[in-house]
């Protein structure tokens, strides 16, 4: 099976055949954008300082250090994903306003993001937790930093990456949500087990 690598700028046609559960990788531009960036754009109506059309965002707060050979530039020490659900209430509007094609984070997202991905033809993917150093090794260069006044975790870091991943697709462009489907399936399996256990367990009234 060939390795699926998306390259920015990502087009709608690039995402048509990708489905939830698929494992993909990203080459090109990845920009960190978490709570503050979403709030400034959607709630406060501030224009983003980075053009995200066809690009990918990362719900992450990286640890950066100045490069020894050039103090004006940065290297990534680690960059692990943060919980994507924190951006749920803003994500659909964020997609509509920016043209972002790929969201990367930790854990699943809800119906608002699912609708946004379907309408704007975008994906949400999960990067494995606990692999922040591995993620950093995929960064070829940190090209820019915008909104530095927000602090290192919340600033928008513009990075060029190569085969960044693995990324597990959790929401596809057809409105399928892997986490929601799994919840439903696991609950269906759980209920008869709980009923059987209850037959053999007595509770203090």
What percentage of residues in the chain have a pLDDT greater than 90? 80
Based on the number of CB atoms within 10 Å of its own CB, is 32 exposed (0-12), middle (13-18) or buried (19 or more)? buried
* 158 beta partners: 31, 144
In contact, 109 and 99? CB cutoff 8 Å: no
Tokens of 158: 């513009």
* Tens digits of residue pLDDT in 69-94: 888 899 999 999 999 999 999 999 99
Whether the pLDDT of residue 1 is over 60: the answer is no
What is the share, in percent, of the chain residues with pLDDT greater than 70?
A: 96
The pLDDT-based confidence of 203 (bands split at 50, 70, 90) is low
pLDDT of residue 197: 82
Whether the CB-CB separation of 147 and 36 falls below 8 Å is answered with yes
Q: How many CA atoms lie within 13 A of 111 on its CB side?
A: 0
* pLDDT of 177 higher than 70: yes
Side-chain-side CA neighbours of residue 184 (13 Å): 6
| Residue 59 clears pLDDT 80, i.e. is over it | yes
Identify the three-state secondary structure at position 15: helix
Contact 48, 37 (CB under 8 A): yes
For CA atoms 57, 46, 42, 121, give the dihedral sign: negative
Residue 133 CA to residue 59 CA, distance in Å, equals 16
Which residues are known to be catalytic?
Answer: 38
pTM: 0.88
The tens digit of pLDDT for each residue in 111-149 reads: 999 999 999 999 999 998 888 998 999 999 999 999 999
């Amino acid at each position: 099976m060939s390795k699926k690598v998306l390259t920015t700028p990502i087009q709608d046609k690039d995402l048509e055949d990708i489905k939830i559960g698929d494992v993909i990788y990203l080459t090109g531009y990845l920009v960190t954008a978490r709570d503050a960036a979403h709030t400034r754009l959607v709630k406060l109506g501030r224009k983003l300082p980075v053009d995200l059309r066809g690009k990918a965002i990362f719900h992450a707060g990286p640890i950066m250090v100045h490069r020894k050979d050039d103090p004006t530039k940065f290297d990534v020490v680690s960059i692990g994903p943060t919980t994507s659900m924190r951006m749920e209430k803003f994500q659909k509007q964020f997609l509509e306003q920016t043209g972002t094609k790929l969201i990367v984070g930790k854990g699943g997202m809800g119906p608002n993001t699912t609708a946004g991905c379907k309408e704007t033809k975008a994906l949400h993917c999960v990067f494995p937790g606990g692999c922040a150093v591995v993620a950093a090794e995929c960064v070829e260069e940190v090209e820019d930093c915008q909104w530095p006044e927000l602090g290192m975790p919340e600033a928008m870091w513009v990075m060029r990456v190569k085969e960044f991943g693995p990324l597990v697709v959790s929401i596809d462009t057809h409105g399928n949500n892997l986490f929601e489907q799994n919840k439903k399936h696991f609950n269906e399996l759980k209920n008869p087990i709980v009923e059987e256990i209850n037959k053999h367990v007595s509770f203090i009234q």
